[in-house]
Amino acid sequence: MGAPHQQADIGPLCDPVAPRQLQNFLLVHRLVEAFWNLLDNPPSSVGLIELKREPTRSALVYQYDVLEDRSAQSKADVRVVLKVAIALASHFGEELCETAIQSNELVELFSEGWWANRISVLAALRYAVEAQAPKTADRMKSQRAFRDVDDWQSLWRKFSELGDPPKPETPPPAKPKFSLLGHTMTEDEFLREASSGSDGLIAKTVADAVVLDLDPAGLRDRSRSQVGPLIHTKSKRKRRGGGPKAPKGESELKILGVIGERYVYQQFRVILPDFDAHNWKSRSREQFGYSTGDDSLGYDFEYRDSDGILSGRDDSPMCRIEVKATTGDGANAFDMSTNEWDVAYECHNNDEAEVYIVVRVASVAQQPTIADVLVDPVDLRQQGVLDYSSRNLLVVVGQVMPTEEGS
């Protein structure tokens, strides 16, 4: 066992310029020298090692596994066993240096390169762990930890003293990105841009879509077709905003609603006298740095229409304005909440000059534009050109009829 052997200075093991034959010779020399060292310094339980099947199993790995797979498997098994060994060593008051073990001559030899072998590396790993932490090695050998390697959680559970395997730290899932106004951004990025107010990217992009000479009368005073009878069934639709029913997440719907309201705010500032941030009542205003809003009102803006520009009325009504934004063209049905319809109904029946107005914003994610202005939806329902199918409400509006010039 202790036969003397002569060491030779053979230089770098795998000189890239050395011929293949020389590289193989150097590898064999290193392997033989490592085994001589093992014989000179045997592990305490070397007499218990059963070697009958180990050479056969190792030979099969060399015979059937390609080099890349052998290296990957060897390094993976070393990581699994070391993760559990380090935790177990702490339990026994011992210390294991992961770097020192991985750089151990035999472990390194069987971990990567031509001699990589998942069977042999575990035997070498056992020897390296025993040299640093003998109690840990003995406990691991009792559970065949250097032979039956699966995943680290399975190996961890073999040792009751370690308790349950720790939960791996996983990065949070990537946040979805939306295509908004020619830009791709997450909800957080959108809100950060919106919080910059009129100097932010969102406000500036929306401002570019404002129509300076927009006349609400052209959208308001239009002939509409009658709406046929609708089936009044219970609906599960409770979300704000309108448009096609293509599935959208709550984050995207919220963003589209905020953009729609910002667009109406900037458009109305241009065409309505004395319209400013004080007229904006919903919580969407908060995203742009304004004070706290209220989403329970049943509308987004209120405005005293002294000149009748928006409502077309001459009694200076207080307009309760609800914005319905969609990525479509604004011609489809849209949702109204029960609260919103109740406010519209109250405005319709109020003796004071009040009117509920629904402003529909189309193409809100690309190039927002006001597609329709519905003044007093309760009255429009009585006219038969608007109806809803359920409460919460899916509102249907009759098609706009062509004018004589366009017929």
| Domain identity same for 182 and 153 | no
In a domain, 29, yes or no: no
| Domain identity same for 181 and 151 | no
* Gyration radius from the chain CA atoms: 38
Each residue's pLDDT tens digit, 60-70:
888 778 888 88
Asked whether 198 and 360 are in contact (CB, 8 A), the reply is no
Dist. CA 272–CA 282, nearest whole Å = 19
pLDDT at 240: 41
Confidence of residue 357 (pLDDT cuts 50, 70, 90): very high
Each residue's pLDDT tens digit, 36-80:
555 555 554 444 444 445 567 777 888 778 888 889 999 999 999
| Domain identity same for 120 and 189 | no
| Domain identity same for 243 and 276 | yes
Dist. CA 288–CA 265, nearest whole Å = 11
Domain that holds residue 153: 43-162
Domains of the chain: total: 2
In a domain, 150, yes or no: yes
| Domain identity same for 343 and 376 | yes
| Domain identity same for 393 and 291 | yes
| Domain identity same for 373 and 263 | yes
Confidence of residue 169 (pLDDT cuts 50, 70, 90): confident
Asked whether 356 and 377 are in contact (CB, 8 A), the reply is yes
**At which of 139, 162, 185 does a domain end?**
162
| Domain identity same for 354 and 226 | yes
| Domain identity same for 81 and 225 | no
| Domain identity same for 245 and 143 | no
In a domain, 352, yes or no: yes
| Domain identity same for 291 and 338 | yes
CA dihedral 75, 78, 82, 85 (to 10 degrees): 170
Confidence of residue 241 (pLDDT cuts 50, 70, 90): very low
Structure tokens at 315: 């009694």
Dist. CA 100–CA 57, nearest whole Å = 27
Judged against a pLDDT cut of 80, whether residue 340 lies above it is answered with: yes
In a domain, 28, yes or no: no
| Domain identity same for 206 and 246 | yes
pLDDT at 149: 80
